[in-house]
Amino acid sequence: MLFFGGDYNPEQWNEAVWKEDDALMRRAHVNLATVGVFSWALLEPEEGRYDFAWLDAHLDRLYANGVAVDLATPTASPPPWFTLAHPDALPVGPDGTRLVHGSRDTYCLAAPAYRTAARNIATALAERYGAHPGVAMWHVHNEYTTLCWCDHTAAAFREWLQQRHGSLEVLNEAWGTEFWSQRYGAWEQVLPPRATQWHKNPGQHLDFRRFWSDTVLAAYREQRDAIRAHSDRPVTTNMMLPAYQNVDLWALGREVDLVAIDHYPDAPGLDAAADTAFAADRARSFAGGRPWLLMEQGTNTVYSGGRILGKEPGEILRHTLGHIARGSEGALFFQWRQSRAGSETWHSAMVPHAGADSRIFREIQQAGEIVARLGEVAGSTVTAKVAVLHDADAWWAMEVDGLPSKDLDYHDALRRAHRALWDAGITADFAHPEHDLSRYRFVVAPSLFLLSDAGAENLRDYVAGGGRLLVQYCSGVVNDRLHARLGGYPALPLREALGIRIEEHRPLRRDEVIVLSDGTRATVWSESLRADGEALLTYTHGMLAGKPALTRHRFGAGESWYLSTRLDDSGYAALITQIVGSGTPGLESVTRHAQDGTRWQFFLNHDVDPVSLPEPGLDLLTGAHVSELPAGGCAVLRKRRTP
């Protein structure tokens, strides 16, 4: 069975609406509801006094209606009493401003009072519902996103630094504090990176990010373990994608029983479809071969630069299948019924303000029916032969002050590499630079500014062993302490694998466009480098004229490419397809495999014209034979292993 449903916040409604919810959930084939995410104020109206009667009634009603529950701990939104009782547990910004209730996510994860309150409510819920037959899984917190710079944080940060560095001397060396008179003489002098006059110390920034990630993991584990003491159901928390990076998602993936993600594209149309694949491929990769689940998407929501754009007819189904094709064990939405008041009145829902007689609910019903028909794919997996390297340290390293260009953007580089592969019809995994990469026939390293020694050696060994590696500009420039690589970039093992030595970074001016030897245009960045191998493209401007811009090198049994600038979209797409080939333009095709050899081929036609399928077959979505998909059409074909 695949899951279909969404966040259900019945406390906003009354009995008549609950009755209608039951009927509409049946019509829409809803089988899972996330309950209680924002219910702290109702569950614990005063500190230590719990009221579970209303939740008992909803869980029993849902259970009787065939809807299982993903039961949340409400700790992402502490109630107003919490502010008054524990003002020291509210978050403080880098500039010293302390936030108060009136919104949500207002807590400091490092504050003991918050951690205790969160553990207590999680324990109380687990004690009461740990054995409830309707509880299918647990949803700890919601999108761990809040950062804090308060005094509790400062104390916890110092403890973390002591563990990591052992002594102040090592910390001073790691952070390069000899410069700018930043040397610390006592632990009490060390602070989180609060507002400063000018550039913050980069090492302090990176260590703070790592520390905060560990703080999130510890807070999650505390609740998870409190739940596990009373329940054998899987426990998870929902990762917020794409751009928040307040936790190392590889590490969080290892802590949860089931990786769960929320996905809200930031641009409509084809970009939203590509972003769906970007989110889904990351989720599958963080899950490391275990199941994962799309925990939230919007029915009619594309957050785009201060506007909430709608989705086009058919996109609810295409986005849903886009996630399931890439391994999701179903598709859930935020939220079931659109709020009529409060902070998310305009966020779309499965039952919109217009009610069930609406395009959106009809599309939800259709998607629910189709997901129900696809139950047989549950538990099957997706394997990819190509990977994009994803590393939290590299991401955080590119946020530090004082880099050579403000146009360096790790998230952009990551997304762009994935997009070029998606456009070429190639399914990609994400991998960490230190993972075993030998199963991939091609690996892309987007701007991995920070690369550890172990990562650089791993990439060299991958190429030596027969791998094909594309490394992009501004990679391997600093080690895991943010110290510059000396003697030429990138890190030595990678220099060997790429057959290059970079002497100088030459960032481009704002809006500057350069032209390479074959007419391809490039922006943002350029480098002065020497290459042992072939120069596939050269620069044509200034002091770099005639020098390599794109190189290819044979090393050991493998091959490597180094791209020293940011190619325009068509040049980049051409490079990617030249290296890995391409599928049918506009036709997204992904295969899920079961252990018994059965395969399900998912096809999504993003083109404006009909496309022919590579092979005709029986479509599980309609029960009809298909050989061609209309514009926007989808199909899922089952292939059994022939004996």
Q: Catalytic pick from 44, 143, 363, 457? A: 143
Closest-CA residue to 533 (of 463, 439, 478): 463
Whether 329 is a known active-site residue: answer: no
- Judged by beta carbon, residue 339 or residue 528, the one nearer ligand GAL is 339
**Minimum CB separation from ligand GAL for residue 276, in Å?**
15
**Minimum CB separation from ligand GAL for residue 332, in Å?**
11
Six-digit token string for 156: 């916890």
Alpha-carbon span 53 to 42, nearest angstrom: 10
- Judged by beta carbon, residue 141 or residue 606, the one nearer ligand GAL is 141
- Judged by beta carbon, residue 344 or residue 568, the one nearer ligand GAL is 344
- Judged by beta carbon, residue 334 or residue 396, the one nearer ligand GAL is 334
User: How far, in Å, are 144, 233, 614 from residue 217 at the CA level?
Assistant: 9, 20, 45
**Minimum CB separation from ligand GAL for residue 147, in Å?**
16
- Judged by beta carbon, residue 266 or residue 453, the one nearer ligand GAL is 266
Residue with structure tokens 């479509």?
619
Six-digit token string for 258: 């089931």
**Minimum CB separation from ligand GAL for residue 252, in Å?**
15
- Judged by beta carbon, residue 207 or residue 262, the one nearer ligand GAL is 262
b vs e for 422-446, b when ≥16 Cβ sit within 10 Å of the residue's Cβ? bbbbbbbbbbbbbbebeebebbbbb
CA 279 vs. chain centroid, Å, equals 6
- Judged by beta carbon, residue 260 or residue 524, the one nearer ligand GAL is 260
**Minimum CB separation from ligand GAL for residue 253, in Å?**
18
Alpha-carbon span 527 to 575, nearest angstrom: 19
Residue with structure tokens 């602070």?
191
203, 197 in Cβ contact below 8 A?
A: no
Alpha-carbon span 305 to 365, nearest angstrom: 30
- Judged by beta carbon, residue 298 or residue 499, the one nearer ligand GAL is 298
Query: What angle (nearest 5°) sits at the alpha carbon of residue 215, between those of residues 197 and 408?
Result: 50
Amino acid identity for residue 487 in this structure = G
Whether 173 is a known active-site residue: answer: no
Instruction: Spell out where 107-160 has E strands.
Output: 135-139
Residue 348 β-bridge partners: none
Residue 562: φ, ψ to 5°: -125, 125
Residue with structure tokens 């994962």?
292
**Minimum CB separation from ligand GAL for residue 347, in Å?**
4
- Judged by beta carbon, residue 271 or residue 344, the one nearer ligand GAL is 344
Residue with structure tokens 């008549």?
16
Q: Catalytic pick from 44, 255, 296, 315? A: 296
User: How far, in Å, are 125, 434, 547 from residue 438 at the CA level?
Assistant: 44, 11, 32
Six-digit token string for 31: 């089988």
Alpha-helix runs per DSSP H in 130-180: 151-165, 168-175
**Minimum CB separation from ligand GAL for residue 267, in Å?**
17
**Minimum CB separation from ligand GAL for residue 103, in Å?**
11
- Judged by beta carbon, residue 138 or residue 561, the one nearer ligand GAL is 138
Alpha-carbon span 636 to 374, nearest angstrom: 9
**Minimum CB separation from ligand GAL for residue 284, in Å?**
20
Six-digit token string for 370: 């189709």
**Residues making contact with ligand GAL (CB under 6 A):** 142-143, 240, 262, 296, 334, 344, 347
Residue 490: φ, ψ to 5°: -80, -165
Q: Would you list the DSSP string of 98-155?
A: BP-SSSS----TT-HHHHHHHHHHHHHHHHHHTT-TTEEEEE-SS-------SHHHHH
- Judged by beta carbon, residue 344 or residue 532, the one nearer ligand GAL is 344
468, 480 in Cβ contact below 8 A?
A: no
Pairing between β-strand 135-139 and β-strand 68-72 as defined by DSSP bridges: parallel
236, 260 in Cβ contact below 8 A?
A: yes
**Minimum CB separation from ligand GAL for residue 165, in Å?**
35
536, 499 in Cβ contact below 8 A?
A: no
User: How far, in Å, are 263, 501, 502, 515, 533 from residue 512 at the CA level?
Assistant: 34, 25, 21, 10, 28
Pairing between β-strand 558-563 and β-strand 468-472 as defined by DSSP bridges: parallel
Residue with structure tokens 């199909």?
635
| Alpha-carbon Rg for the chain in angstroms | 26
**Minimum CB separation from ligand GAL for residue 343, in Å?**
8
Query: Among all residues, which ones are annotated catalytic?
Result: 143, 296
